């Protein structure tokens, strides 16, 4: 009986207070009795709210992060006979409503419904303001306990969840979308995450809470009863899109695989091995995937290893700086497994078009290098394109333009065929970095870099892989760190197209004899307490690159065959022969360095340098001892190998390259 009934029966308000106390005492006794009976029965004293009748306006939300109309797909308006499940608290507390034309607004964006017998789910003490929930379509919802969540029986279709905001039910998308087209005789596909991630709906929870003075929509995906494979139809005419709906926020840590079938038998597959995360409402258009299809037994790791050739890699840059008199012999070339030869640059660097050209220091030196493959067939030779500063001009303008990007890729194919090369090494130093060149007379030239370079670089290597095919190598030179904290490369996006990365763990600093507290090594292995270097090569690899998701076996450690001088006693660039001359004769380029040519060793950074009697650095350099420490680091971490800048900075006896080869191979 309610309070009014008790008053009508002659009870005063004071009597009611006493009655409440008595009821409370009886309730406590019942609980004590239930406990004393070893849980033989349980008394449920939780009050149940009275079922109510509600009128709601059902609204289709189209917020950017939860939009329903993804590429024109998904629910964008209500239609007659649409069925919505409305539910509150409890197992059977659910009603299915079928919309009529009279329920729906003229633009179809809203529909008015009335539901009776719904018990609100009150969780206001938890900060949850919504009390009624809904799901669409009704035939995709399980008949099990709903509570304030919905369980979908199937996936690969646009599904919506709703919560009430006052007298409105706000419906939001609970999926992300992947689309593709394909050419071929296929009738269906299957989609799986490479690490067996959930790709179908289990339990999906929606609610709205009040946080920081604002109402916030929350969605949570539970993985009870998950699907790890979903399927759908395919029309292989090259133009009809196929749609893959997956739970919003699906996180494919190892990428995903899309298999194409005919009559239930797998014909081809497309796959990516990189991390893919899809937020609510994300739309990923794979485009026409025909060129990227592989046979069912295709193993991308095995194919990449076949492309790589010899491992561990000893990769040397051989560029226009090498003089004809220093051209390598076959014995010299056998010190390396890979050679990056160049440099190729844009014919029109300011516009990024016109094709590619190679500055040749001698008669067809790239062809002469490639000719060594007759006697050394395991050797891989790649075309190096770009460089530092103005050497990288043209990349940004090319990568942002579809036509220029296509021309660039066709030029790479042409030059690889012309010179019998094994791939391409990209030296875009660096995407998003606006290099400034002093033209003199107060004029400066900027290379046209912009924030879109990051995604355009990914597009570039993707298109280059399609153009070069599965047998050619694609590599690129990367900064030793994040280049002035700029997130300039999407490593997770490029690794599926690129074979390995050459990390330039050098050019980290110069001697400053006038300010010894600011002295820096050129290429320290580790951070030094004796000098000002804020990081070493190992810090670059482990402190930045591996944290970007780059495996050790996809990186080469950069080893410098040069160092830096103070610009007074020594030139700004010090090659290994210069360092040897300083130690043996006290002369460099006809100038005395006597008194500044003592060899010092910094144990912290595993680096040698030339300095005065007090240990002040005047020139950094590398020798066989310092290189040995770097090779030991490469082996201990499982890095793919080493990269050398560059060939012409070794001496005529090949002291450094031979020391490196012996340390890497034991031969």
Q: How many CA atoms lie within 13 A of 548 on its CB side?
A: 25
Structure tokens at 550: 């780059």
pLDDT above 80: residue 144: no
Q: How far is CA 350 from the centre of its chain?
A: 30
pLDDT, residue 146, reads 56
Q: How many CB atoms lie within 10 A of CB 501?
A: 21
Could you read off the pLDDT of 53-82 as tens digits, one per residue? 899 999 987 655 444 445 555 667 899 999
pLDDT, residue 117, reads 85
Structure tokens at 432: 């998003």
Q: Answer yes or no: are the C-beta atoms of 193 and 199 closer than 8 Å.
A: yes
**What does each C-alpha distance from 88 to 72, 215, 413, 464 come to in angstroms?**
32, 19, 63, 54
Question: In the chain, pLDDT over 70 holds for what percent of residues?
Answer: 84
The two beta strands, 168-173 and 160-165, are antiparallel
Q: How confident is the model at residue 21 (pLDDT cuts 50, 70, 90)?
A: very low
Q: Answer yes or no: are the C-beta atoms of 476 and 421 closer than 8 Å.
A: no
Pick from 425, 430, 605, 392: nearest CA to 502? 425
Q: What average pLDDT does the segment 161-171 reach?
A: 88
pLDDT above 90: residue 176: no
Structure tokens at 663: 């340390």
- Worst-scoring range by mean pLDDT, 128-142, 230-244, 302-316? 128-142
Q: How confident is the model at residue 163 (pLDDT cuts 50, 70, 90)?
A: confident
pTM over 0.95: no
Q: Answer yes or no: are the C-beta atoms of 313 and 500 closer than 8 Å.
A: yes
Q: Which residues contact 265 (CB under 8 A, 6 or more apart)?
A: none
Q: How confident is the model at residue 3 (pLDDT cuts 50, 70, 90)?
A: very low
Pick from 288, 188, 267, 277: nearest CA to 230? 188
Q: How confident is the model at residue 92 (pLDDT cuts 50, 70, 90)?
A: low
Q: How confident is the model at residue 30 (pLDDT cuts 50, 70, 90)?
A: very low
How far apart CA 195 and CA 19 sit, in angstroms, is: 62
Pick from 169, 228, 237: nearest CA to 194? 228
CB neighbour burial string for 396-431, b if at least 16 within 10 angstroms, e if fewer: bbbbbbeebbebbbebbeebbeebebbbbbbbbbbb
pLDDT above 80: residue 445: no
pLDDT, residue 35, reads 38
How far apart CA 648 and CA 332 sit, in angstroms, is: 12
Dihedrals phi, psi of 414, to nearest 5 degrees: -60, -45
- Worst-scoring range by mean pLDDT, 300-304, 459-463, 536-540? 300-304
pLDDT, residue 5, reads 27
Q: What average pLDDT does the segment 563-582 reach?
A: 97
Residue that the structure tokens 């996180």 belong to: 251
End-to-end CA distance of the chain: 96
pLDDT, residue 276, reads 79
Q: What average pLDDT does the segment 589-617 reach?
A: 97
Q: How many CA atoms lie within 13 A of 626 on its CB side?
A: 30
Which range among 27-31, 163-167, 268-272, 330-334 has the greatest average pLDDT? 330-334
Q: How confident is the model at residue 397 (pLDDT cuts 50, 70, 90)?
A: very high
Q: How confident is the model at residue 90 (pLDDT cuts 50, 70, 90)?
A: low
pLDDT above 80: residue 14: no
- Whether omega for the bond prior to residue 137 falls within 30 degrees of 0, making it cis, is yes
**What does each C-alpha distance from 180 to 158, 243, 344 come to in angstroms?**
16, 7, 35
Q: What average pLDDT does the segment 215-224 reach?
A: 68
The CATH H-level (homologous superfamily) assignment of domain 312-561+622-665 is: Glycosidases (3.20.20.80)
- Worst-scoring range by mean pLDDT, 98-107, 198-207, 353-362? 198-207
Q: Which residues contact 214 (CB under 8 A, 6 or more apart)?
A: none
- Worst-scoring range by mean pLDDT, 33-47, 109-123, 407-421, 598-612? 33-47
CB neighbour burial string for 521-552, b if at least 16 within 10 angstroms, e if fewer: bbbbbbbbeebebebbbbbbbeebbeeeebee
Which range among 86-90, 128-132, 524-528 has the greatest average pLDDT? 524-528
Q: Where are the domains of the chain?
A: 3-36, 52-298, 312-561+622-665
pLDDT above 50: residue 654: yes
């Amino acid at each position: 009986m309610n309070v009014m009934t008790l008053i009508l029966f002659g009870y005063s308000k004071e009597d009611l207070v006493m009655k409440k106390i008595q009821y409370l005492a009886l309730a406590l006794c019942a609980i004590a009795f239930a406990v004393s009976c070893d849980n033989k029965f349980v008394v449920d004293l939780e009050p149940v709210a009275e079922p109510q009748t509600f009128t709601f306006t059902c609204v289709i939300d189209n917020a950017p992060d939860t939009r329903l109309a993804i590429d024109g797909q998904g629910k964008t308006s209500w239609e007659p006979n649409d069925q919505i499940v409305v539910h509150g608290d409890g197992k059977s507390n659910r009603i299915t409503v079928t919309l009529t034309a009279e329920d729906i607004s003229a633009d179809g964006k809203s529909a008015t419904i009335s539901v009776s017998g719904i018990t609100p789910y009150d969780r206001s003490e938890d900060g949850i303001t919504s009390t009624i929930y809904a799901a669409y379509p009704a035939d995709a919802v399980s008949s099990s306990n709903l509570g304030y969540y919905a369980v979908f029986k199937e996936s690969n279709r646009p599904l919506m969840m709703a919560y009430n905001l006052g007298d409105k039910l706000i419906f939001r998308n609970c999926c992300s979308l992947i689309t593709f087209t394909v050419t071929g005789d296929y009738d269906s596909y299957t989609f799986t995450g490479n690490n067996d991630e959930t790709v179908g709906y289990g339990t999906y929870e929606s609610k709205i809470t009040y946080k920081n003075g604002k109402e916030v929509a929350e969605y949570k995906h539970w993985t009870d009863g998950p699907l790890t494979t979903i399927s759908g139809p395919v029309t292989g005419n090259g133009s009809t899109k196929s749609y893959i709906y997956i739970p919003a926020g699906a996180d494919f840590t190892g990428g995903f695989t899309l298999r194409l079938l005919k009559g239930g038998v797998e014909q081809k597959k497309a796959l990516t091995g990189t991390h893919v995360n899809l937020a609510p409402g994300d739309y990923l258009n794979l485009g026409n995937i025909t060129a990227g299809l592989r046979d069912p037994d295709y193993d991308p790791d095995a194919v990449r290893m076949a492309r790589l050739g010899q491992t561990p890699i000893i990769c040397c840059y051989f560029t226009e700086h090498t003089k004809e008199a220093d051209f390598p012999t076959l014995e010299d070339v056998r010190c390396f497994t890979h050679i990056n030869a160049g440099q190729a640059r844009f014919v029109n660097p300011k516009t990024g078009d016109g094709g590619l050209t190679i500055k040749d220091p001698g008669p067809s030196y790239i062809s002469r290098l490639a000719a060594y493959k007759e006697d050394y067939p395991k050797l891989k030779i790649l075309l190096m394109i770009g460089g530092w500063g103005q050497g990288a001009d043209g990349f940004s303008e090319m990568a942002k333009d579809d036509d220029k990007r296509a021309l660039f890729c066709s030029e790479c194919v042409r030059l690889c065929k012309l010179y019998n090369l094994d791939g391409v090494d990209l030296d875009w130093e660096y995407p998003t970095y606006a290099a400034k060149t002093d033209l003199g007379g107060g004029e400066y030239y900027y290379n046209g870099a912009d924030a879109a370079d990051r995604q355009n670089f990914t597009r570039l290597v993707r298109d280059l892989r399609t153009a070069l095919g599965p047998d050619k190598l694609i590599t690129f030179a990367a900064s030793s760190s994040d280049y002035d904290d700029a997130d300039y490369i999407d490593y997770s996006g490029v690794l599926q197209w690129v074979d390995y990365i050459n990390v330039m763990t050098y050019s980290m600093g110069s001697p400053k004899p006038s300010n010894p507290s600011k002295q820096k090594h050129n290429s320290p292995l580790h951070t030094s307490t004796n000098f000002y270097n804020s990081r070493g090569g190992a810090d670059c690899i482990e402190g930045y690159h591996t944290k970007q998701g780059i495996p050790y076996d996809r990186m080469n450690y950069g080893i410098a065959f040069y160092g830096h001088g103070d610009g007074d006693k020594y030139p700004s660039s010090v090659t290994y022969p210069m360092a040897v001359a300083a130690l043996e004769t006290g002369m460099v380029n006809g100038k005395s360095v006597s008194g500044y040519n003592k060899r010092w060793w910094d144990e912290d950074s595993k680096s040698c340098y030339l300095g005065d009697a007090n240990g002040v650095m005047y020139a950094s350099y590398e020798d066989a001892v310092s290189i040995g420490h770097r090779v030991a680091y490469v082996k201990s971490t499982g890095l793919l190998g080493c990269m050398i800048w560059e060939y012409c900075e070794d001496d005529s006896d090949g002291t450094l390259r031979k020391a490196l080869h012996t340390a890497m191979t034991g031969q």
